[in-house]
Amino acid sequence: MYIPNTPSKRRATAVLLLPSLIGVVGFCLLPILASAIFSVMDYDLLMPMNSMQYVGLRNYSRILAGSEFPKVMGHTFTYLVLYLPLILITSVGEALILNKSFKGHGIFRTVCYTPVITSWVAAAVVWQWVLSGKYGLLNQMLSVFGVTGPSWLNSKEWAMPGVVLAAVWKDTGYYALMVLSALKSIDPSCYEAADIDGATGIKKLTRITLPLISPTLFLLIVINIIYGLQVFDSVLIMTNGGPGGATTVFLERIYKYAFKQYKMGLASAYSWILFALILVFTAIQFRLQRKWVNYDA
């Protein structure tokens, strides 16, 4: 870390850093502190601040002991279990294609990345049509193979898979570019040596490509587990937690407690429970990555 060696330079550095420091304090540290305080309070957002009452850990016990919490956790983990392997497979597959030279490469790259810059509102409108039970494009495609598709977003069993499909479609291009940058960093001599040894494409993928891009894959897993636990926009726009509460997730509950029911105490407690889950999962991932991530390349 660079520290200026003269008082004038230190003062100039402090002045230049002050706007950023104000932003960090005002938009990060103070809200974190406020949520920690609210989580142990009984606070209605529509009531004056002096009406808050200290309730200790009652908000946490009310959430953890309630019948809603296991359902919310189950729905969130269902999303995560479905989303994580799909986004990894599609991102790596798309990156492998983009890493090849072929006619129309630029058009393919544009098509792949367009969903990333599409707003979730527009994407949700498209996917609500795609996943429509009667006239949806997906069900029409399935009918070609003699399969009768479900009413995706109106079914308790299929609403979450429908949301996952839309999320994977939208996010793949972004993560594929990250994987592509890792693929570009691999020394071509590794593949040349494998070709001399007569290695097949699968062997080169499993023995060279995946081990050498494992740090990037680890980053993707960490990012997407955090994202999966905090999924919100796709659920809110496409299903609003329905049907029948089948897609209620952590951030959807936090949002509705805070800004629909104005129960800031419960919303803040939910936030800290989610933070604890993310912290535990991230710590586990950093512990396990020692067994499979290769940083020697």
Identify which of 240, 253, 246, 80 has the alpha carbon closest to the alpha carbon of residue 155.
246
Number of Cβ atoms within 10 Å of the Cβ of 104: 9
This prediction has a pTM of 0.91
CA-CA distance, 28 to 274, in Å (whole number)? 17
Q: Is residue 243 reached through a cis peptide bond, with omega within 30 degrees of 0 on the bond before it?
A: yes
Structure tokens at 226: 């955090």
Measure the CA dihedral 171/174/176/177, to 10°: 180
What is the pLDDT tens value at each position of the chain, 297 positions in all? 566 778 888 888 888 888 889 999 999 999 999 999 999 999 888 888 888 899 999 999 999 999 999 999 999 999 999 999 999 999 999 999 999 988 888 899 999 999 999 998 899 889 989 998 878 889 999 888 888 889 899 999 999 999 999 999 999 999 999 999 999 999 999 999 999 988 898 999 999 999 999 999 999 999 999 999 999 989 999 999 989 899 999 999 999 999 999 999 999 999 999 999 999 999 999 999 988 998 875
Instruction: Spell out the domains of the chain, with CATH numbers in brackets.
Output: 68-291 (1.10.3720.10)
Which residues does 160 contact at the CB level (< 8 Å), separation at least 6?
A: 75, 78, 79, 82, 246, 247
